[in-house]
Structures are given as C-alpha cells and as structure tokens.
Amino acid sequence: MIAKVLKQVLLAGIGALAASGAIAQGKDSVVICQTLEPPILDPSGGAAAAIREVTYGNIFEGLVALDRNSKIIPALAESWETSADGMKYIFRLRKNAKFHDGTPMTSADVKFSFDRAVAPDSKNAQKWIFQPISEIATPAPDVVEITLKQFASDFLYGLAWGDAVIFSEKSVTKAATDPVGTGPFRFKSWNRGDRLTLERFDGWWGAKPALGNATFRFIADPQAQVAALLAGDCDAHTNIGAQEAVPQLKADPKLTVTVGRTEGETIVAMNNAKAPLNDVRVRRALAMAVDRKLVNEGAVSGFGTPIGSHFSPNHPDYVDLTGETPFDPKKAKALLAEAGFPNGLSLTLRLPPPAYARRGGEVVAAMLAEIGVKTSIEPLEWPQWLERVFRNKDFDLTIVSHVEPMDLNIYTRDNYYFGYKSEALNAAFQKIKSARSDAERKAAFEAAQRQIVQDQVNIFLFMLPKVTVAKKGLSGLWEHAPLPATPLAELRWQ
Amino acid sequence: MIARALRHPSFLIGAVLSLLICTVALASLFWTPEDPTKMRILMRLKGPSAEFWLGTDQFGRDVASILMVGARNALLTGLVAVAIGLGFGLMLGVMAAQMKGRWIDDAIMRALDFVFAFPAVLSAILILTFLGPGLVNAVIAIGIFNIPVFARVARGATLQVLARDFIRAAQLARVPKLVILRRHVLPNIAGLMIVQASTQFALAILAEAGLSYLGLGTQPPNPSWGRMLNDAQTFLAMSPRLALLPGLAIALSVLAFNLLGDGLRDILDPRLEER
C-alpha cells in the first residue's frame, strides 16, 4: 500500500518535473547567459559592452542597425537618402514606431537623442559618431534631415552602433535602471548580480517575435558557465570563457557549439607615456618576444585569429601585418640592449578578470621572461582595473580585448589609457574619414594600420573568439559578433 | 622517549610523510625534473610519460616540477606563518601570564580574543584586500591570526608552571625574573608549543592553499598548490589529474603535520612521561 502511494507520488513528481521542464523551455521563453553584467542599462551612459549585449536591438534601437553579417539595415528609419556630396542625410522614420510607454517615436526624439549625445555633460562613449553633425532639422514628425559639417565616410555606420539609439525625452533620465526604448522587448525586472528579464513589447513596429519572455543571466566564472550549460540552467551562453571545455560541450547531445569571431582585438596594452615603455625600441623588443600563435593557444585554446595590428580581419580593408613583428627573441634581446637594458627590466602586468587575460598574462609573462623582462602579475577585478589602469593609467602592461568594432580611432584619442600620440596617425585617420572612394579608404586604412605597428603602440595578439553554446532547438543566435549584441527578436525554438 | 616515539604509529607515519615532503621541497631548491615555469604550449594537457612523470598542465608545464616547487612554497608559508605566530604569541602569552591580575594581562588577552574571534581565512582575505594579493602578504596575514592561538597556549602553560614549587623556590632565592623564565618556564612549556606549532603548520598550509585558490596568495608564475587547483577547474573533464595531484599534495601535507603534532603531543606530554 505504502509502496503504491509512494510510486504514485513519485510518478506525479516526475510528471510535474517533465511538465515544468516543458514550460521552462516553453518555446516562448529563453534564458540567455552571458559573462558580464551591465553596470547600467543606458547605452549612452557608458562604454561597457555588456550594456549593448542586453539592450541593442532588444530594448533600444537606432535609426539604422547592423545585422549579423555587419550589413547596415533599416531600423527606426525605414529608408534614407544621401546627397551626392555625402554631406546631407534624409531619414524617413517608421510611422508606427513607438516607445514602450506608448508615446510615438518622432523626429523630435531623434534630434533630442543626438543633441544629448554631444552635450557637454554627455557620458556617451562614442561621441565621434555625432561630431560631424552640423544641423538636425525635423521638417515632419517622420522626417529627419541631418547636415554634416565635415564629410565622414563612417557616419551611417556609426549610427548603427548601440551608442546612437533613440531615447524619449520623457523617460531618458531613468534609462540607467528602468530603460524605455522602442525595441521589440521591454524591460521587466533586474535582480542585480543575477538576472534581468525582458518581455515582448506588442506595440513593436516589426514582425512579432517568437519569444514572449527572455532572461539574461550573468555568470562570470568560466567553470560555472560550463556547469550551468551542462545542467541546462542556460538555454544559451553567448560567449563562454572556458574555450578548453569546447570538446566536452560538443560531446553533449543536448547542446550545439559554434565558434565565431568577435570584433575584440585582444592586445597587450603598453603604457606609451611612461618610461621605459615610452621608448619604441623597448616596445618593439617586447612585441618580438611574444609568440602570438602560442598565446592564442594558451589563452583561448587556439580559437582566436592572430592579428598584427589593431584591426579586425573581418573588415574588407584589413591588411595582415602579423609578419611585421615576427617572434624573434634574439632580436628582441638585442633591441633591449640597444635601448639601454642589456640586463633586462622589471614591469607590472595588471590583469582584468577574463580568462583570456589571466591565462594570456601567464603565457606572455613566461615569454617576456625569456628575454630577461621580469613581470609582476597583479590580478584585478573590473572596477579596480577601470580605476587604476584605464582611468589613472597606473600600469606598465595589461591585457584587454577591445570589443567595439572599428575602434582604430582610440589611437587618435588624447589622454587614452595607453598614452599614445602621433600626428602621422591622426593625419591617416583624417584621410579615412574623408575618403570618398573604396580605394582611397582602403589606402588610408592600410596607412593607419601600418602606423601603429611602426610605432609598436601595443602588442597585438588575436581576435577574441565567440564560442556560443546553445540547447539544440534554439535557433537564430548570432555566430559572429559584428558588435556586442544578442538580438532576441531573431531567436526561436524549433 | 625515543623508544616511545618509535612505538607510536601516528607519529611515525606523520614523521615519515613530513620528512618526505620536506625532502622534496628542499630538493626542488637544487633540482626539478624540468623548469617548472617553462611553457610548452603545444604539449599542453599531456598525460604522464617518461619525459613528464605526472604529465603537463594547461600551458604544457611539467606538473611534477610544479608540485615540487609548490611544496617549497607551502612549507615556507607554514614555517614563516608559524614563526610569526609563535614568536609574538609566545612573547605575549608569557608576558600576560607574568602580569596576571594586572590590567596589562587583560589588555593583551582581550585584544587577542578580538583577533581570535574572526575566522582566520576570512580575516586573511580582508587583510589582503588592503595589502594587495601576494605570497608575502598572505603569509603575514596567516601569521597574524596564529598569534592568539600560541598566546593562549603559552599563557595557560606558563601559569601552570609559575604555580609550581620550584618556581616559588627560585623566586625566594631571588633569581631574576628573566632567568626564571629562561631556565624554568620556557623549557617546561616548549613541548606544548612544539605540538601547537605542528598543528598550526598544517593549518597554515591549508590557509595558503585556500588563499591562492582564491587568487589572493601566491601569484603566477610562482607555483602554488592552491592555484593549481583553481587553474584545474575548467580542465576537470579533460584532465582530472590536474586537480587530483595538488589536492592530494595538500591533503597529504596537512595529514602529515597533524599526525606529527598528535604524535608529538603524546610523546612530549609531561604527564604521560610521569606515568
């Protein structure tokens, strides 16, 4: 009798479990795991890639967007025209686009958002996007005319970035914690340190997304990421940190693994403004001591793509410069001696938390030791890293991945953390901006790529891979990351 | 006493194991099978072979060599942390005992109680967030939290000794206090302190492993058993060996020094001798 009851209870329990499992996977909701949690949710208020990974194309939209193939596609603007001289853009906005609070999105919101981005108190991390603008006119609620003061070949491309999304004046002040955008998903709740949930916005202008609910979970520890995937707690992880677990994950019949590319140039950044690294011979020596192929193997299990300059091989104007600073410890030693360090030197290597940095750091330190450069490794948490390395420039060497696409312009910034300044590069960069033909642009890009290698600003290692792991049946995830994003409207269960 | 030691199984096992670990650590000063920091990335995660006795780690370094140098770091941590704890603890404990009943005794002991009230490893983490991570700071932090342990034992033992007749006799003969301390008190409490040192030694090794596991102790490329464990985590499915070996090393060392301590207690305990 007891056994019978027990059996029934058990069966009921299993049934309930199976049912709840079915609901959890429910073909209508998804749990996306990612490594970092966004500090805020306002994409115009900070540089953190995690903000865009959650909000881009989900909560917020720009006039245009990048699709998974890095192609510029219409978003809030359904079409646009460019004047023959490239100095004027006319955008026609979607008439049925509205914010999550119900107010319609109009040309006034576009003007407000772009004016706000260049305002003196703006925290926008990519002001360059808006710098060429001289005037924004709003002849009709659904027409925006933007006149440029200087030609910018990458103007439209910049507008596709997460930093150029459209806000409503009414709700922008609370965008950091309670964002109101125009995208297919609206913000629902945020349990800091753990998860953030979004729900479908039924007033979206586009085709109704398949998913009704989406949860972003934040798991920083690489081992915990793998465990969560194997346990089924995550429907997908957008880029796992433990690339060495790929064979194990691939062997799991419930999961699919894809290895794609990000736009993350992973570099050993050097403090160009501080002795002894202000000497190009020392920087070159360090670069020649590092075998980037082996760092790629040791840091990300060889899934990265080696690079020779701060430029992505995904871009049509990429030039392979990996041969410019070949691995040559002998020559590196000679260069060090020439620069006045025949007995080597000691440097700090301050590392942020990601596995690529911590592991890459150990490998780089071992390689530098071979030419007599002693490094003291200091692991830092992100807030410490941002404070000490990025803001206060208190470092000799660090390893970090610059995940923004097309971010060569960081080398033209005054007062950027690696302390590089070059008139030659600035000139090359101006040429890129003003290039009117593909050939012109290609030549200018090549000159810029070569310039930073010639000055050996940093040690260029590899492009960070994007290892996506998902449950079988979940489709629509981006294989590559032309910019940090996980557009939920493209996901569906099969 | 030696005869009794030889008949004492846990002392024997503890002594042999500790000796073995110490020998390995000392040997690593002069010789390791391979350079423990030498990376051979294309040879990574290889199983044991004639060339690499215990295989290679995620960077293709020789695991046997890393373990050997790790032993050195573990023992060094134990030694210095215990020295800090024993040095200060003994001084403070004996001083407190001498001053029993006066405010200074209370002051010392309450201050030490305060330190003792914090869980040692948590407190070490706290200290390291101020001092910054690193082996030296970790050893200091572990040492600081050893002080109250030794001080308490030293105070209790000293009080017991001070109450005995021969001290009374010496005091009546106007033997100076310091001489009494050196001739009569210290030799009588030495056994207890050695036993305590052995136990704390094991705990210090464990604490260092824990701190290094958390990334607060020994920094790369300096090998540490605790960090080996941490590094091994994501490789568990492919090379469980990478986690098992340092785990085994930590467990064996802690066991060895605890057994040694237990054995020493039985052998050195004056009451047992009288029986």
Per-residue pLDDT reduced to its tens digit, A127-137: 999 999 999 99
Residue A386: alpha-carbon gap to chain centroid: 16
Which pLDDT belongs to residue A383? 87
Is the pTM higher than 0.90?
A: no
Comparing alpha-carbon positions, the chain A residue that sits nearest to B237 is A248
Q: Which residues of B touch A362 (CB under 8 A)?
A: 59, 220-221
The predicted model gives B149-171 an average pLDDT of 92
pLDDT for the residue A1: 45
**Spelled out in words, what is the top-level CATH class assigned to the domain A61-168?**
alpha beta
* A101: confidence class by pLDDT, cuts 50, 70, 90: very high
Measured in whole angstroms, the distance separating CA A459 from the mean position of its chain's CA atoms is 20
Specify the DSSP class assigned to residue B181. Answer: I
Q: Does B275 score more than 50 pLDDT? A: no
* In chain B, where the domains are located: 2-24+74-272
Give residue ranges of B with CB < 8 Å to any A CB: 37-39, 41-42, 44, 58-59, 132-133, 215, 219-221, 233-238
Which residues in A lie closer than 8 A to residue B42 (C-beta atoms)?
294, 297
A298 interfaces chain B, CB cutoff of 8 Å: yes
- What average pLDDT score do residues B131-136 get? 85
pLDDT at residue B272, as a whole number: 55
Assigned superfamily of B2-24+74-272: MetI-like (1.10.3720.10)
Confidence of residue B122 (pLDDT cuts 50, 70, 90): confident
Label residue A141 exposed, middle or buried (CB < 10 Å: 0-12, 13-18, 19+). middle
Q: Using the beta-carbon criterion (under 8 Å), do A244 and B235 form an inter-chain contact?
A: yes
- For residue A223, list chain B residues with Cβ-Cβ distance below 8 A: 233-234, 236
Are B59 and A223 an interchain contact pair (Cβ–Cβ within 8 Å)?
Answer: no
Cα-based distances in Å from B185 to A383, B58, B152, B190, B257: 53, 53, 15, 9, 26
State the pLDDT at residue A476: 95
Cβ–Cβ pairs < 8 A, chains A and B:
56
- Test B221 with A366 for CB contact under 8 angstroms: yes
Using 50, 70 and 90 to split pLDDT, how confident is the model at B215?
A: confident
Q: For residues B46 and A404, what is the distance between their CA atoms, to the nearest angstrom?
A: 37
A365 → chain B, closest CA residue: B221
pLDDT for the residue numbered B270? 56
**Using CB atoms, which residue from A247, A363, A376 is nearest to B39?**
A363
Mean pLDDT of B211-222: 88
Token pair in block for residue A320:
């392979």
Amino acid B208: pLDDT: 92
ipTM associated with this complex = 0.77
Q: Widest CA span of chain A, in angstroms?
A: 90
Q: Residue A351: what pLDDT?
A: 95
In this structure, which amino acid lies at residue A231? A
Q: How far apart are CA B102 and CA B104, in angstroms?
A: 5
Q: What tens digit of pLDDT does each residue of B1-41 get?
A: 677 777 788 899 999 999 999 999 999 999 999 999 889 98
Q: Is B1 exposed, middle or buried (0-12, 13-18, 19+ CB in 10 A)?
A: exposed
Chain A residues with CB-CB distance to B59 below 8 A: 298, 359, 362-363, 366
Assess whether pLDDT exceeds 50 at residue A18.
Answer: no
Look at residue A17 and tell me whether its pLDDT is greater than 50: no
Span B230-253, average pLDDT:
91
Among A14-23, A384-393, A432-441, which is the least confidently predicted range?
A14-23
The tokens describing B33, both together, are 């099978």
Provide the 10 A C-beta neighbour count for residue A284. Answer: 22
Q: What is the pLDDT of residue A450?
A: 96
Contact list, A461 vs chain B (CB under 8 Å)? none
If you average pLDDT over residues B162-191, what whole number do you get? 90
Q: In three state form, how does the secondary structure of A378-443 look?
A: EECCHHHHHHHHHHCCCCCEEEEEECCCCCHHHHHCCCCCCCCCCHHHHHHHHHHHHCCCHHHHHH
What count of other Cβ atoms lies within 10 Å of the Cβ of residue B130?
A: 8
The predicted pLDDT at position A31 comes to: 97
Does the distance separating the beta carbons of A361 and B234 come in below 8 Å? no
Residue B271's pLDDT is 59
Q: Which residues of A touch B233 (CB under 8 A)?
A: 223
pLDDT at A120 (0 to 100): 92
Judged by DSSP in three states, A211 sits in coil
Q: How confident is the model at residue A20 (pLDDT cuts 50, 70, 90)?
A: very low
Mean pLDDT on A351-358: 91
Judge if A61-168 and A262-465 fold alike in CATH terms.
no
User: Which residues from B are below 8 Å from A248, CB to CB?
Assistant: 237-238
pLDDT per residue as tens digits for the range A55-71? 999 999 999 999 998 89
Q: Please give the CATH number for the structural domain made up of A23-41+177-261+466-493.
A: 3.40.190.10
Under the banding of pLDDT at 50, 70 and 90, the label for residue A155 is very high
User: In the structure, what pLDDT confidence band is assigned to residue A21 with cuts at 50, 70 and 90?
Assistant: very low
Least confident of A59-73, A207-221, B110-124: B110-124
Residue B214 C-alpha, separation from nearest chain A C-alpha, in angstroms:
11
pLDDT at A206 > cutoff 90 = yes
> Over 80: is that where the pLDDT of A6 sits?
no
* pLDDT above 90: residue B202: yes
Mean per-residue pLDDT over chain A, rounded? 92
- With CA atoms as reference, report the closest residue to A453 among A271, A316, A283: A283
The pLDDT of residue A26: 52
Domain map (residue ranges) of chain A: 23-41+177-261+466-493, 61-168, 262-465
Triad B19, B54, B61: Cα angle to 5°: 105
Banded model confidence at residue B124, pLDDT cuts 50, 70, 90: confident
What is the spatial distance between Cα A276 and Cα B162, in angstroms, rounded to a whole number? 63
Query: Which pLDDT score, from 0 to 100, does residue B117 have?
Result: 86
Residue A7 is predicted with a pLDDT of 53
Which class would CATH give A262-465? alpha beta
Q: Which of residues 306-365 of A touch B (CB under 8 A)?
A: 355, 359, 361-363, 365
Q: Which of B234, B236, B238, B242 to mutate to test the interface with A (most CBs of A within 10 A)?
A: B234
